[in-house]
Protein backbone atom coordinates (compact mmCIF):
# COMPACT_ATOMS: atom_id res chain seq x y z
CA UNK A 1 0.00 0.00 0.00
CA UNK A 2 1.35 3.41 -0.99
CA UNK A 3 1.84 6.17 1.57
CA UNK A 4 0.08 9.37 0.53
CA UNK A 5 1.02 12.19 2.92
CA UNK A 6 -1.28 14.56 1.01
CA UNK A 7 -4.24 12.28 1.62
CA UNK A 8 -3.51 12.00 5.35
CA UNK A 9 -3.10 15.75 5.80
CA UNK A 10 -6.30 16.35 3.89
CA UNK A 11 -8.26 13.92 6.00
CA UNK A 12 -7.15 15.75 9.12
CA UNK A 13 -8.10 19.13 7.67
CA UNK A 14 -11.50 17.66 6.84
CA UNK A 15 -11.87 16.51 10.44
CA UNK A 16 -11.46 20.03 11.72
CA UNK A 17 -14.10 21.33 9.30
CA UNK A 18 -16.48 18.51 10.22
CA UNK A 19 -16.10 19.17 13.95
CA UNK A 20 -16.97 22.84 13.42
CA UNK A 21 -20.04 21.91 11.38
CA UNK A 22 -21.27 19.35 13.92
CA UNK A 23 -20.83 21.75 16.80
CA UNK A 24 -22.60 24.52 14.88
CA UNK A 25 -25.52 22.23 14.06
CA UNK A 26 -25.94 21.33 17.74
CA UNK A 27 -26.37 24.98 18.79
CA UNK A 28 -29.88 26.41 19.44
CA UNK A 29 -31.76 28.27 16.67
CA UNK A 30 -29.80 31.34 15.61
CA UNK A 31 -32.54 33.25 13.73
CA UNK A 32 -33.47 35.53 16.64
CA UNK A 33 -29.95 36.62 17.59
CA UNK A 34 -29.37 40.33 18.24
CA UNK A 35 -27.43 41.94 15.44
CA UNK A 36 -25.58 44.78 17.15
CA UNK A 37 -23.24 47.25 15.51
CA UNK A 38 -20.24 45.85 17.39
CA UNK A 39 -17.16 45.37 15.25
CA UNK A 40 -16.19 42.26 17.25
CA UNK A 41 -19.06 39.90 17.85
CA UNK A 42 -19.38 38.16 21.21
CA UNK A 43 -19.44 34.38 21.00
CA UNK A 44 -22.92 32.84 20.87
CA UNK A 45 -21.61 29.62 22.38
CA UNK A 46 -18.42 28.82 24.24
CA UNK A 47 -17.09 25.52 25.54
CA UNK A 48 -13.91 24.63 27.40
CA UNK A 49 -12.33 21.20 26.95
CA UNK A 50 -14.25 20.62 23.71
CA UNK A 51 -14.21 17.02 22.47
CA UNK A 52 -16.12 15.63 19.53
CA UNK A 53 -15.76 11.98 18.57
CA UNK A 54 -17.15 10.26 15.48
CA UNK A 55 -17.63 6.49 15.50
CA UNK A 56 -18.75 4.10 12.80
CA UNK A 57 -19.79 0.49 13.39
CA UNK A 58 -18.52 0.72 16.95
CA UNK A 59 -15.05 1.85 15.86
CA UNK A 60 -13.61 5.30 16.54
CA UNK A 61 -13.12 7.10 13.19
CA UNK A 62 -11.97 10.55 14.29
CA UNK A 63 -11.85 12.93 17.20
CA UNK A 64 -11.34 16.69 17.54
CA UNK A 65 -10.22 18.17 20.86
CA UNK A 66 -9.72 21.83 21.72
CA UNK A 67 -8.92 23.58 24.97
CA UNK A 68 -11.64 26.04 23.98
CA UNK A 69 -14.26 26.22 21.22
CA UNK A 70 -16.43 29.23 20.41
CA UNK A 71 -19.23 29.77 17.92
CA UNK A 72 -19.87 33.23 16.47
CA UNK A 73 -23.39 33.13 15.03
CA UNK A 74 -23.41 36.40 13.06
CA UNK A 75 -20.11 35.54 11.35
CA UNK A 76 -21.16 31.85 11.23
CA UNK A 77 -17.67 30.92 12.38
CA UNK A 78 -16.29 28.33 14.79
CA UNK A 79 -13.01 29.14 16.55
CA UNK A 80 -10.82 26.64 18.36
CA UNK A 81 -7.79 27.09 20.64
CA UNK A 82 -5.15 24.40 21.22
CA UNK A 83 -6.61 22.07 18.57
CA UNK A 84 -5.75 18.36 18.39
CA UNK A 85 -7.44 16.29 15.66
CA UNK A 86 -7.05 12.50 15.49
CA UNK A 87 -8.07 10.09 12.76
CA UNK A 88 -7.99 6.33 12.58
CA UNK A 89 -8.05 4.96 9.04
CA UNK A 90 -7.15 1.46 7.85
CA UNK A 91 -5.51 0.71 11.19
CA UNK A 92 -3.39 3.89 11.10
CA UNK A 93 -3.47 6.78 13.56
CA UNK A 94 -3.04 10.30 12.15
CA UNK A 95 -2.84 13.46 14.29
CA UNK A 96 -2.66 17.19 13.49
CA UNK A 97 -2.27 19.99 16.04
CA UNK A 98 -2.29 23.77 15.98
CA UNK A 99 -2.58 26.65 18.42
CA UNK A 100 -5.68 28.16 16.77
CA UNK A 101 -8.19 27.30 14.07
CA UNK A 102 -11.10 29.22 12.55
CA UNK A 103 -13.73 27.58 10.34
CA UNK A 104 -16.34 29.45 8.30
CA UNK A 105 -19.27 27.08 8.71
CA UNK A 106 -21.06 28.22 5.53
CA UNK A 107 -18.15 28.07 3.07
CA UNK A 108 -16.35 25.23 4.92
CA UNK A 109 -13.08 27.13 4.64
CA UNK A 110 -10.70 27.78 7.47
CA UNK A 111 -7.26 28.44 8.80
CA UNK A 112 -5.13 26.64 11.37
CA UNK A 113 -2.12 28.52 12.68
CA UNK A 114 0.54 28.57 15.33
CA UNK A 115 2.98 25.66 15.01
CA UNK A 116 0.75 23.51 12.83
CA UNK A 117 2.09 19.96 12.79
CA UNK A 118 0.79 16.57 11.88
CA UNK A 119 2.13 13.06 12.34
CA UNK A 120 1.15 9.55 11.34
CA UNK A 121 1.93 6.52 13.45
CA UNK A 122 4.34 5.32 10.75
CA UNK A 123 6.59 8.38 11.06
CA UNK A 124 5.34 10.87 8.45
CA UNK A 125 5.56 14.44 9.86
CA UNK A 126 4.34 17.80 8.49
CA UNK A 127 5.11 21.28 9.95
CA UNK A 128 4.23 24.85 9.04
CA UNK A 129 3.16 28.06 10.81
CA UNK A 130 -0.20 28.45 9.03
CA UNK A 131 -2.46 26.30 6.89
CA UNK A 132 -5.49 27.56 4.95
CA UNK A 133 -7.98 24.89 3.91
CA UNK A 134 -11.26 24.36 2.10
CA UNK A 135 -13.52 21.31 2.05
CA UNK A 136 -14.81 21.73 -1.51
CA UNK A 137 -12.61 21.54 -3.45
CA UNK A 138 -10.47 19.61 -0.97
CA UNK A 139 -7.34 21.78 -0.85
CA UNK A 140 -4.91 23.29 1.63
CA UNK A 141 -2.33 26.02 1.05
CA UNK A 142 0.27 28.04 2.89
CA UNK A 143 2.76 30.75 1.98
CA UNK A 144 4.87 29.83 5.03
CA UNK A 145 7.89 27.54 5.36
CA UNK A 146 6.97 23.84 5.17
CA UNK A 147 8.82 20.74 6.40
CA UNK A 148 7.78 17.20 5.40
CA UNK A 149 9.70 14.28 6.88
CA UNK A 150 9.45 10.53 6.89
CA UNK A 151 11.60 7.64 8.04
CA UNK A 152 13.81 7.92 4.92
CA UNK A 153 13.40 11.49 3.64
CA UNK A 154 13.09 15.18 4.44
CA UNK A 155 11.69 17.88 2.13
CA UNK A 156 11.47 21.57 2.94
CA UNK A 157 10.39 24.65 1.04
CA UNK A 158 8.38 27.85 1.22
CA UNK A 159 4.74 27.85 0.17
CA UNK A 160 2.67 24.77 -0.51
CA UNK A 161 -0.39 23.71 -2.44
CA UNK A 162 -2.06 20.47 -1.42
CA UNK A 163 -4.72 18.95 -3.70
CA UNK A 164 -6.39 16.03 -1.97
CA UNK A 165 -8.43 14.89 -4.95
CA UNK A 166 -5.25 14.56 -7.02
CA UNK A 167 -3.20 13.44 -3.98
CA UNK A 168 -0.44 15.92 -4.83
CA UNK A 169 1.71 18.29 -2.81
CA UNK A 170 3.52 21.13 -4.56
CA UNK A 171 6.16 23.11 -2.68
CA UNK A 172 6.61 26.48 -4.39
CA UNK A 173 10.04 27.97 -3.57
CA UNK A 174 13.45 27.14 -2.14
CA UNK A 175 12.77 23.41 -2.18
CA UNK A 176 15.42 21.13 -0.70
CA UNK A 177 15.19 17.36 -0.28
CA UNK A 178 17.31 14.81 1.52
CA UNK A 179 16.92 11.04 1.60
CA UNK A 180 18.90 8.25 3.16
CA UNK A 181 19.20 4.48 2.84
CA UNK A 182 18.29 3.63 6.45
CA UNK A 183 15.83 5.11 8.88
CA UNK A 184 17.28 7.88 11.07
CA UNK A 185 17.15 7.17 14.81
pLDDT of residue 180: 85
Q: What share of the chain is helix, strand, coil (3-state, %, to 5)?
A: 10, 60, 30
Average pLDDT over residues 167-179: 90
Work out the average pLDDT over 49-67: 85
Q: Give the pLDDT mean for 132-152.
A: 88
32 has a pLDDT exceeding 50: no
Query: For the chain, what is the mean pLDDT?
Result: 80
Interval 71-90 mean pLDDT: 86
CA angle 53, 141, 14 (to 5 degrees): 15
Pick the more confident residue, 174 or 137. 174
Task: Answer yes or no: is pLDDT of 5 > 90.
Answer: no
Average pLDDT estimate for 95-107: 89
Amino acid sequence: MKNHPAKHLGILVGLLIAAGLVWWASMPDKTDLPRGDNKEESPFGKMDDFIYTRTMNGQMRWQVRAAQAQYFAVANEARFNQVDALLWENGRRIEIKGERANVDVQSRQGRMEGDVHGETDDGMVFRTARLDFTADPRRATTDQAVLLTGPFFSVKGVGMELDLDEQKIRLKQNVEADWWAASKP
